[in-house]
């Protein structure tokens, strides 16, 4: 459970970092600062950054954590500059549509919570689970 909480915290930091880098680029190029645009700009900058870091062969945990940390700090500091007016109409208004949304979110939570982490995987206890896998996937069993 602790592993899942750490991974969730890391994923949230990465998402905030995308928005932070995107806000910085949007300010630099005078682009709209809504959440979707800044997130896309942040992802594109991260892809470019990753390519350059890989090309220069200087990548590692420290460069990744540094990139995410700087972006997350900027993202938290710049959250007020985002145009968040669009969030008020995002939830569906009808009860059936809200129920469908709740079921989808619940299925996503169950899927994430039920994931088998490779560090916790025991080939002796979980051998029958591997028998249903294809040949390439069962090589780990």
On whether both 10 and 77 belong to a single domain, the answer is: yes
114 pLDDT higher than 90:
no
130 pLDDT higher than 80:
no
On whether both 74 and 24 belong to a single domain, the answer is: yes
CA atoms within 13 A on the CB side of 79: 8
Task: Name the token pair of 41.
Answer: 């700009």
On whether both 84 and 128 belong to a single domain, the answer is: no
The CA distance from 14 to 43, in Å, is: 10
**What mean pLDDT value characterizes the chain?**
78
On whether both 65 and 111 belong to a single domain, the answer is: no
On whether both 85 and 33 belong to a single domain, the answer is: yes
The CA R_g of the chain, rounded to the nearest whole Å, is 20
- 61-102 confidence digits (pLDDT tens): 888 899 999 999 988 888 766 655 555 566 777 888 889 988
On whether both 11 and 80 belong to a single domain, the answer is: yes
On whether both 73 and 120 belong to a single domain, the answer is: no
On whether both 103 and 75 belong to a single domain, the answer is: no
Terminal-to-terminal C-alpha distance of the chain = 23
Alpha helices in 57-94 (DSSP H): 61-77
SS3 25: helix
Residue 35 pLDDT: 76
- How many structural domains are present in the chain? 2
Task: Name the token pair of 38.
Answer: 């800044």
What is the residue range of 100's domain? 91-141
Residue 39 pLDDT: 86
- 41-64 confidence digits (pLDDT tens): 999 999 999 999 988 888 888 888
Distant-in-sequence, close-in-space partners of 63: CB < 8 Å, separation ≥ 6: 53
Distant-in-sequence, close-in-space partners of 140: CB < 8 Å, separation ≥ 6: 121, 123, 130
On whether both 32 and 81 belong to a single domain, the answer is: yes
């Amino acid at each position: 459970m602790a592993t899942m909480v750490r991974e969730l915290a890391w994923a949230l930091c990465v998402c905030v970092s995308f928005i932070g880098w995107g806000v910085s680029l949007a300010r630099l190029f005078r682009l709209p600062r809504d959440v979707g645009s800044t997130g896309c700009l942040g992802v594109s900058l991260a892809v470019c950054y990753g390519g350059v870091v890989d090309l220069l062969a200087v990548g590692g945990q420290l460069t990744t954590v540094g990139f995410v940390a700087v972006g997350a700090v900027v993202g938290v500091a710049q959250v007020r500059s985002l145009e968040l007016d669009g969030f008020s109409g995002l939830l569906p208004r009808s009860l059936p549509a809200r129920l469908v949304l709740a079921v989808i979110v619940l299925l996503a939570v169950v899927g994430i919570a039920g994931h088998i982490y490779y560090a916790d995987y025991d080939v002796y206890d979980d051998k029958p689970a591997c028998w249903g896998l294809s040949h390439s996937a069962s090589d780990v069993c």
